[in-house]
Amino acid sequence: MKVAIKEDALIKDVDKYCEYSLEQWRVPGASIAIVHKGEVIFQKGYGTQKCGEVIPLTADTLFPIASITKSFAVLGLALLVDQGKLKWDDKVIDYLPDFKLKDPWVTREFQVIDLFCHRSGFYPGALEQMAQWGYDRKDIQKGFSHINPITSFRSAYAYINVPYLWIEDLIEVITGQKWGDFIKENILSPLGMKSTDMISKINKSQLTTGHILDEESRTQVKPVSFSIFPEVFLAAGGLVSSVKDLSRWLLLQLGHLSLVSKENMEFLHSSKTPVEPFLGYGGGLRIFDDKPYRVLSHGGLIAGIKHRFLFIPESDAGIVVLTNLTHSEASMGISDYFADRIMELPLKDYSLELLEKEPVVPMIRPKASGLKIDRKLFEGIYHNDILGSVKIAVGDDSDLEMILGPKNAKARLNHNSDQTFLISFIRDAGASAGEAHWGTATFSKECLTLKGYEDFENETFILNRT
């Protein structure tokens, strides 16, 4: 007969491991909550809301929760399915006649379920950077109709945020409510998640400060402003919450609170898209089956924060870890340690394993050549169907500048080699990204190729001089 978990010992162990892990990864601050057998048994804040200042983090501290939002978006669809207003296999185009992808057959066959389980066939992260450059959701949706898939439809997993934009449209068409209003009225309020809301409705001064590591050495923790991404991709990442409120979310997932039918909750908790031998993706959730019991989780990541929530239905337990540093796997290590501890498995130092496997190292990126070349040769207007018109001109400091998008986002182009330049977007000059290098701009005859690298290596735009 299995011995019941001693909650006091569990809390003590996780608390100690949390402090250790946060120190390993140099995280300025974090909040954690644990639920077990229908009760919130632990809530605590660690560290500070802003590096260099004493502003204690608590269980009430608000964070942008980024992609944790996805599970809320899909639950919203489940509510409509329960009400008979929607079916999981309904065709998107039947509700949204303007829905369009490059392949007419895929456009016709794209179902509601395909909007959230990352099997569209397009490359990971497709077009999401456009939000940082001042393009709005409609621009990005339109752009999606011009990109080519990299795999056949429904044949492979690739994590993409853009399809969640159509979840917002779908809910608005069916209910007559904006997505945020629908989620608040039908999910947040009934669950008593009083502090949770859309990021666009929150006073930004109420949020913890986000942090990143400097590019050069990857040792200096520095504050960073949150990007525009959550405000454009609401259903994919637009909620703000606290671990106090997210404890309610865990209790819902574990069956101690109820909003949708048991049938649909099981549907959301089952894999729709295989990812690896022991991993699948369901209703805004990753599902692991490499331990004695299934583990369901999801992370959240934008510049400045990195989170994870995790729950184990068979153990009737869950944890949420919110952190205010991007370059950290502390939330992953802490939540995996908790999972093993609650299942009484041999304990591993996951944070150390992750740090040794993927150490935080300086970025190795191309450097500016420092050569004086005739930059006027590259001036002109370049165009494609996704980005529209892009202007290349010599700026006031004699460097090339690139201007694009509806807000005239500006980037510096620093010469690298031959006809290739390094792209550095200028924050607040029409863009919410940067000063960091985004990628390269290469000129060839009458063409301009914009190519991302590292995190954006799949993104390539080819433009023709007009």
Report the 10 Å Cβ neighbour count for 313.
Answer: 17
Residue range 1-364 in CATH 3.40.710.10: yes
Radius of gyration of the chain (CA): 23
Q: What distance in Å separates the CA atoms of residue 298 and residue 309, rounded to the nearest whole number? A: 6
Contact 434, 426 (CB under 8 A): yes
Task: For residues 21-40, give the mean pLDDT.
Answer: 97
For residues 129-141, give the mean pLDDT: 95
Question: pTM for the complete prediction?
Answer: 0.95
Which CATH architecture is the domain 375-465 placed in? Answer: Beta Barrel (2.40)
> In whole angstroms, how far apart are CA 349 and each of 32, 160, 312, 335, 355?
18, 31, 20, 11, 10
- Decide: helix, strand or coil at residue 319: strand
145, containing H or E segment? none
Work out the number of other CB atoms within 10 angstroms of the CB of residue 215: 13
**Cα 182 from Cα 175, distance rounded (Å):** 8
Residue 319: how many other CB atoms lie within 10 Å: 31
Any alpha helices (H) in 179-260, and if so which ranges? 179-183, 189-191, 229-232, 234-237, 243-253
Query: pLDDT for 240-289, tens place per residue?
Result: 999 999 999 999 999 999 999 999 999 999 999 999 999 999 999 999 99
Q: What pLDDT is stored for residue 367 in this prediction?
A: 80
Per domain, the residue ranges of the chain are 1-364, 375-465
Q: What is the pLDDT of residues 155-212, one digit of tens each?
A: 999 999 999 999 999 999 999 999 999 999 999 999 999 999 999 999 888 999 999 9
Q: Of 54-63, 216-225, 426-435, which range is least confident? A: 426-435
pLDDT one-digit tens code per residue, 277-318: 999 999 999 999 999 999 999 999 999 999 999 999 999 999
- Cβ atoms of 236 and 229 closer than 8 Å: no
Tell me how far apart the alpha carbons of residues 368 and 371 are, in angstroms, rounded to a whole number: 8
